[in-house]
Structure 1
Amino acid sequence: MSKDQPAPGDRIKPKKSALVQFTATTLLLEVFLVLFATMAVWALRDSEFGRGPLRIESSAVIWVLGCVLALVLVILSRAQGSAAGRAAGSVAQIPVLAMGLLVPMMYLVGGIFVVLWIYALRLGARVDRERAEYDAAHPETAPNAP
């Protein structure tokens, strides 16, 4: 038997929470979305094409707002280990979706990410629950078993 695979009766180390991994990954992907949307808003600041009802003409304001939102999403991705972090991540979906006021296409793309966020919450919780059920049914291989 190779060293990479556990032998029968070996303890395996605990897995990271799927809920934390899924939600953190979704928030990190939203960072890229926000940065690309910020570039689009900046590029369209002097144009009537593709602009939403909210108009920001200052390049500095556009970049500060975009980078602050991206930074908040990065920080929240690291806080997904707690219920408060996930609640804050849920609240952070609002400004991502609200970027549609600057670039209307963000209503669609931001909406897709809101759906991904909800799916990450539901699927991550289900995977964690099923892992716990499996570990309870198979205590001989459960992580952290005595």
Structure 2
Amino acid sequence: MSKDRPAPGDRIKPKKSALVQFTSTTLMLEVFLVLFATLAVWGLRDSEFGRGPLRLESGPVIWTLGGVLAVVLLVLSRAQGSQAGRAAGTVAQVPVLAMGLLVPMMFLVGGVFVVLWFYALRLGARVDRERAEYDAAHPETAPNTP
């Protein structure tokens, strides 16, 4: 038997959802983005250069706000298996973009990640839909459901 086709009786593992993988990965990348942006805000706290309209001078406040947002994004990255988790991930894009009030460059970088988020939602749903259509058309290679 050829290696690209399963033998009769082989258990074919279900594929992981592309939607979950794409959105989870985007949120994990945003965790690093927030940590580096927090570091930039902390480093620029005594400088007028590169500062946004919102001024935070206290190091502990800066790290607390950045750390809380990073932890929220981390938790949401693990909750992408549900519609509520994806809705919460969409809402979490607002504070990521709002970090531009602290460091104006975050409007650009955060905006790129917001676009990536919506692209991950759209592309992930399309990949999952096309996988389901393929599995329906080719039941011999479709994953076994327990």
**TM, length-normalised to structure 1:** 0.94
Distance 2:4 2:94 in 1: 44
CA displacement, residues 84-112 of structure 1 (integer Å, 9 cap, x when unaligned): 00000000000000000000000000000
Per-residue deviation at 1:144?
A: 1.7
Distance 1:130 1:114 in 2: 24
Structure 1 residue ranges, 4+ long, deviating more than 3 angstroms after superposition:
4-11
Distance 1:64 1:6 in 2: 53
CA displacement, residues 62-121 of structure 1 (integer Å, 9 cap, x when unaligned): 000000000000000000000000000000000000000000000000000000000000
Per-residue deviation at 1:140?
A: 1.2
Are 1:142 and 2:142 matched, yes or no? Answer: yes
What is the correspondence of 1:58-69 to structure 2 with a 5 Å cutoff? 58-69=58-69
Distance 2:122 2:27 in 1: 15
1:36 alignment counterpart = 36
1:7 alignment counterpart = 6
Distance 1:60 1:28 in 2: 23
Name the count of aligned residue pairs.
145
Are 1:110 and 2:114 matched, yes or no? Answer: no
CA-atom RMSD in angstroms: 1.7
Instruction: Give structure 1 stretches of 5+ with no counterpart.
Output: none
Identity of aligned residues (%): 83
